[in-house]
Structure 1
Amino acid sequence: MTAFFGAEDVFSNWHPCRFSYHDVSFTCVEQFMMFSKAKLFNDDQSATKILAAEDPMTRKMLGRKVAGFNLATWEARRESIVFVGCREKFSQNPGLRSILLATAPTELVEASPYDLIWGIGLGTRDVRITDKSQWRGRNLLGITLMRVREALSQS
């Protein structure tokens, strides 16, 4: 298991790194994710604000206010959106790519005590972290990163 949490960790969506997608430049996956969320719901005003925002927390807050948001639509698309953002992050930054590939074959786990969707709802120091049946969250980020790792290992 490779557990991670916090913006300083290269696997975090908040970790600063530059990449571009369809001629739009991003400074972290969180920005890509929230921008893509705004575009998914045709909220160009929020998309512009998300690109201009300086920090991941502000971007996240702006993403929570996207006009026309529909939970079912978001749930159907969010993992593919984050997959693309993570794929671009790690494929365009060779040093980060090497770090990601070096985690194989471990299970990547976002040890966020707060996030029950992208993380496991437990912190890195929680003794329950090694028992998947005790996880409170879905670990979607960890799962997505393992899919990216697999895709990059094939290219």
Structure 2
Amino acid sequence: MFLDEHNMAAQVNDIYHDDAKEDAKSVSSPEDHGITAKHESRTFGLPRSVWSIMMTCYAIFFGALAVAMGHDGGAIFVLVVSGLFALMYFGTGFVLNSIGAASRKNQKSEWVEGKFQTQSGPMSFGAIFGQMLILPILFAIFGIAMIIIRHVVI
């Protein structure tokens, strides 16, 4: 038997109160009010461009670090371990996202009138772009700066 928060409370109160079953019967469920459960969106409803820019920025970052620091055996080892860690991190998400992807093709989009609907209110594409991509873009710029610094100093 699947218990939600109302049935769980009735089960706990049943130990202390004789009328807990009557209380549980009087509690309405969300389905009684026309509210249905919303299925998860494993891509968070974001456009493919956000994910591709993020992956490109991380690839630039690791590639730039390999060019700038890849002349030492220890640095190469650290870069390989870090790259494998990033590959595992993003690869696991990719594999989990691909599970049941065919059934999500007809899922309603999170985008409504140019805004992304979040729990705290609608957000514009620019706000989402800034919040999600500022660090990957800065990492890519940092990697390129490391190449320039290495070229100037050495």
TM-score (normalizing by structure 2): 0.23
Q: Which structure carries more helix by proportion?
A: 2
Relative contact order higher in (CA < 8 Å, ≥ 6 apart): 2
Q: Which has the larger radius of gyration?
A: 2
Q: TM-score scaled to structure 1, two decimals?
A: 0.23
